[in-house]
Amino acid sequence: MDASMLVVALLFFVTLILGVPIAFILGFVPIVFLYCFSSVPLGIIGQTLYNGLDSYVLLALPFFILAGNLMNHSGITADLVKFAQLLVGGFRGGLAQVNIVVSVFFAGLTGAAVADTAVVGSLLIPAMKEEGYSAEYAAAVTTASSIIGPIIPPSNIMVIYGAITGSSIGTLFMAGFIPGLLVALCLMIMAYYYAVKENHPRRMERIPLTECVRIIRNSLAALVVPLIIIGGILGGFFTATEAGAVACLYALLMGVCFYKTLTPRIILECLENAAIVSATILLIISTSKVLSLVLAIQHVPGNIAQFMLSIIDNKYVFLIVINVFLLFVGMVMEIGASVILLAPILLPVAVQYGIHPLHFAIIMLVNLNIGLTTPPLGVCLFVVSPIAKVPFERIVPKVLPFVCMQIVALLLLTFIPELVFFVPRLMGML
Amino acid sequence: MKRLLKLTKALSDGVDRVAFLLMMFYMIAVTILVILGVVLRQIGLGLAWSEEVARWFLIGLAFVGASVAFKRQEHIAVLLFTMKAPAPLRRLFLIAANIVVLIFLGFSVRYGWSMAVTASRQMGAVVEIPMIYSKMNIPLGAFLMLIHCLYFLVGLLADKSHTSKYMISSSGIVRDQEVL
């Protein structure tokens, strides 16, 4: 480490504190470095910005965001809630269990946690309050279960990770199935504990058979989405990028013809939102390439790897250290930016320790997702607070036990890699 | 100063309207193109050029879209410290942040432009169209953001009572991450 890198690090933190958007920090800092400390011509900036985005894989991002938007607006979630009622509503604390199970189903439609919080929350929190759950508890369950969304495929954050590190998005998607279900299971255990302790109600009335058939039929339309995506990629019908486009087409057809909820105006709004949101992430990816260039010139990733290897020689100690570090990062930084910034640096280090890249990817993504539900910057908490009509600070103590369960799931994934490998291996991808 | 604010606002609003339409064009075109690509390939009529054109549109979507996001104050930032700071200090933070962004955008316009111009005779791998049309999106997007950024800076200096209107990233901590 020489003085120039110290300046770079300092500049990074100062601009971060000033509130400069991440995309611009990642571009500004390396430009200062190139200008002051390096003989590399500045002309390289233009081409680097371009190269960062010149990727067919990255196109999957706007598509999966759009597909998620369209699904959200199609009104399919109401049917999924009924389906979950059918499955787990009869347990003690039925609606809390339903909340978690719906998140599992919903995860197959969108790759975003916040969408899950907003859509599932607005449907279930009022219902939960009516049945006598406290608003704080209802909000906590909704928030905690929404991280299942980006773990079970499709997942926007996996698309970003795959595009950044060159990992196969199809394999990442498959590896996410069991971890997503594991998180759900852990949360359901916690919800059951509370249900018994606080004597929560359950669904008492029976659902007639004809109604069951109707619910299952309607829900199937949604439940097949992840299968179409994975099946299409596996069967070689389309690439991950095209899978995103196909998901859009499917959502569009379903929303327009089957549910009849998508009007041209809503579709345009979905397109607009998808374009803007993906543009903000794409800009970060583009400018992060300028920073990577400078880091590579200074051999920073290599030096970090060497440093880590010199102080930690045990793979498991490394995994614990990295998990603690990522939990901290997830708490204070936006997840997309964290992945774009850290994945290219940390992945080679992990591989040096003999950790499988796929295993590391899932650990990193599940870990950073937990940050969506923790203070001080857990976005899902901010989103759920107005829906449940309770202030942020009052939800936090209720959500912490669930965060602990998320961490239990994370530790299981960290130390039992087979949970990650099972599905991809079954499909012959490993 | 008030006059300058009015002028920059008009300019920023004006270019944003065009940028918005361009962004929507890219978004809709790229979606239709890729869907068409898959469908046509399944029936044996694969389009050789669809992938390359789609990648070009993605560049446009990213940079022109980034300018629209800029105008709507939706870029992702860590606002923990800015929000906690007392009002006068916050304004100072915002001005400093604005200048940092301006410097970056200035360099991006300058070197994005030279990169794009060099590509004026470079053809696509499949499509016989000069790459300048794809690459020009980068200096274009950066220039649009530069205009918005100038407007925000003038706003911060001239209109002290409404600082939140001129933040590059406002309340974004919640809204921006909507899809992640």
Residues 115-174 (A) with a CB less than 8 A from some CB of B: 115, 150, 156-157
CA separation for the pair A33, A295 (Å, rounded) = 10
Choose among B30, B74, B103: nearest Cβ to A28: B103
Q: pLDDT by residue (tens digit) across A223-233?
A: 888 888 888 98
CA separation for the pair B87, B85 (Å, rounded) = 6
Amino acid in the structure at residue A148: I
Percent of chain B with pLDDT over 70: 94
Cβ atoms of residues A78 and A52 within 8 Å: no
The enclosing H or E element of B20 equals helix B2-42
Q: How far is A398 from chain B (nearest CA, A)?
A: 20
- Check residue A48 and give its pLDDT: 94
* Contact state of B58 with A282 under an 8 Å Cβ cutoff: yes
User: Whose CA is closest to B142, among B116, B163, B176?
Assistant: B116
Burial (0-12, 13-18, 19+ Cβ within 10 Å), A65? buried
Residues 280-309 (A) with a CB less than 8 A from some CB of B: 280-284, 286-287
Q: pLDDT by residue (tens digit) across B47-85?
A: 888 889 999 999 999 999 999 999 999 898 888 788 788
Cβ atoms of residues A329 and A371 within 8 Å: yes
Phi, psi angle pair for B123, to nearest 5°? -90, 155
* Number of residues assigned to chain A: 430
Which tokens sit at A279?
A: 């543009």
* Contact state of A68 with B30 under an 8 Å Cβ cutoff: no
Task: Please name the residue of chain A whose CA is at the shortest distance from the CA of residue B100.
Answer: A28
Q: Which residues of B touch A114 (CB under 8 A)?
A: 177-180
Q: pLDDT by residue (tens digit) across B111-145?
A: 999 999 998 888 888 888 889 999 999 999 999 99
Cβ atoms of residues A367 and A410 within 8 Å: yes
Q: Is A241 on the interface with B (CB under 8 A)?
A: yes
Task: Please name the residue of chain A whose CA is at the shortest distance from the CA of residue B52.
Answer: A56
* Contact state of B101 with A24 under an 8 Å Cβ cutoff: yes
Burial (0-12, 13-18, 19+ Cβ within 10 Å), A408? middle
This prediction's pTM: 0.90
Q: Which residues of B touch A273 (CB under 8 A)?
A: 178
> Any bridge partners for residue B130, and if so which?
B123
Q: Which residues of B touch A242 (CB under 8 A)?
A: 34, 37-38
Mean pLDDT value of segment B1-18: 94
What sign does the dihedral B128-B129-B131-B135 (CA atoms) show? negative
* Contact state of A19 with B111 under an 8 Å Cβ cutoff: no
- Cis-peptide, bond into residue A126, ω within 30° of zero: no
- Check residue A377 and give its pLDDT: 79
| In A298-391, alpha helices (H) | 300-311, 315-332, 335-352, 357-370, 379-388
A131-137 contacts: CB < 8 A, separation 24 or more? A131/A95, A131/A200, A131/A201, A132/A200, A132/A201, A133/A95, A133/A96, A133/A200, A134/A398, A135/A388, A135/A389, A135/A390, A136/A388, A136/A390, A136/A394, A136/A395, A136/A397, A136/A398, A137/A96, A137/A194, A137/A398
Q: Is A31 on the interface with B (CB under 8 A)?
A: yes
* Contact state of B55 with A54 under an 8 Å Cβ cutoff: yes
Which tokens sit at B23?
A: 């962004």
Radius of gyration of chain A (CA): 22
Amino acid in the structure at residue B29: A
Beta-carbon neighbour count of residue B170 at 10 Å? 18
Which tokens sit at A81?
A: 């809630």
CA separation for the pair A28, A252 (Å, rounded) = 40
Beta-carbon neighbour count of residue A88 at 10 Å? 22
Confidence of residue B172 (pLDDT cuts 50, 70, 90): very low
* Contact state of B69 with A274 under an 8 Å Cβ cutoff: no
Distance from chain centroid for Cα A422: 20
Task: Please name the residue of chain A whose CA is at the shortest distance from the CA of residue B141.
Answer: A283
How would you write B85-106 as a 3-class SS string?
Answer: CCHHHHHHHHHHHHHHHHHHHH
User: Whose CA is closest to A399, among A138, A169, A151, A12?
Assistant: A138
Amino acid in the structure at residue B24: M
In this complex, how many residue pairs, one in chain A and one in chain B, have their CB atoms less than 8 Å apart?
Answer: 239
Sequence-distant (6+) residues with CB within 8 A of B137 are B59, B60, B62, B63, B64
Residues 104-123 (A) with a CB less than 8 A from some CB of B: 110-115
CA separation for the pair A315, A319 (Å, rounded) = 6
* A254 DSSP assignment: I
Cβ atoms of residues A26 and B76 within 8 Å: no
* Contact state of A282 with B180 under an 8 Å Cβ cutoff: no
Q: Which residues of A touch B75 (CB under 8 A)?
A: 21-24, 280, 283
Which tokens sit at A21?
A: 């958007």
CA separation for the pair A293, B35 (Å, rounded) = 34
* Contact state of B76 with A28 under an 8 Å Cβ cutoff: no
Q: Is A351 on the interface with B (CB under 8 A)?
A: no
Which tokens sit at B40?
A: 């046509």
* Contact state of B23 with A280 under an 8 Å Cβ cutoff: no
Mutate to test the interface with B, among A10, A12, A18, A248 (most CBs of B within 10 A): A18
Q: How far is B2 from chain A (nearest CA, A)?
A: 25
* Contact state of A271 with B31 under an 8 Å Cβ cutoff: yes
Choose among B38, B61, B75: nearest Cβ to A278: B61
CA separation for the pair A365, A155 (Å, rounded) = 10
* Contact state of A112 with B180 under an 8 Å Cβ cutoff: yes
Instruction: Report chain A (430 residues): mean pLDDT per 10 consecutive residues.
Output: 83 92 94 91 92 91 93 86 91 94 92 89 93 95 96 94 94 95 97 94 87 89 87 88 93 90 94 95 94 88 88 94 95 89 94 96 97 88 91 93 97 97 90
- Cis-peptide, bond into residue A301, ω within 30° of zero: no
CA separation for the pair A279, A353 (Å, rounded) = 35
* Contact state of B108 with A46 under an 8 Å Cβ cutoff: yes
Beta-carbon neighbour count of residue A80 at 10 Å? 26
Residue with tokens 């439609």: A109
- Check residue A1 and give its pLDDT: 55
> Any bridge partners for residue B123, and if so which?
B130
- Check residue A76 and give its pLDDT: 84
- Check residue A59 and give its pLDDT: 93
Amino acid in the structure at residue A71: M
User: Whose CA is closest to A259, among A117, A124, A71?
Assistant: A71
Burial (0-12, 13-18, 19+ Cβ within 10 Å), A202? middle
Choose among A19, A275, A279: nearest Cβ to B79: A19
Cβ atoms of residues A162 and A343 within 8 Å: no
Task: Please name the residue of chain A whose CA is at the shortest distance from the CA of residue B109.
Answer: A46
The enclosing H or E element of A64 equals helix A60-73
Task: Please name the residue of chain A whose CA is at the shortest distance from the CA of residue B178.
Answer: A114
Q: How far is B161 from chain A (nearest CA, A)?
A: 19
Residue with tokens 């299971």: A185
- A112 Rama class: left (phi>0) / alpha (psi -120 to 50) / beta: beta
Q: Coil, strand or helix: which one is A92?
A: coil
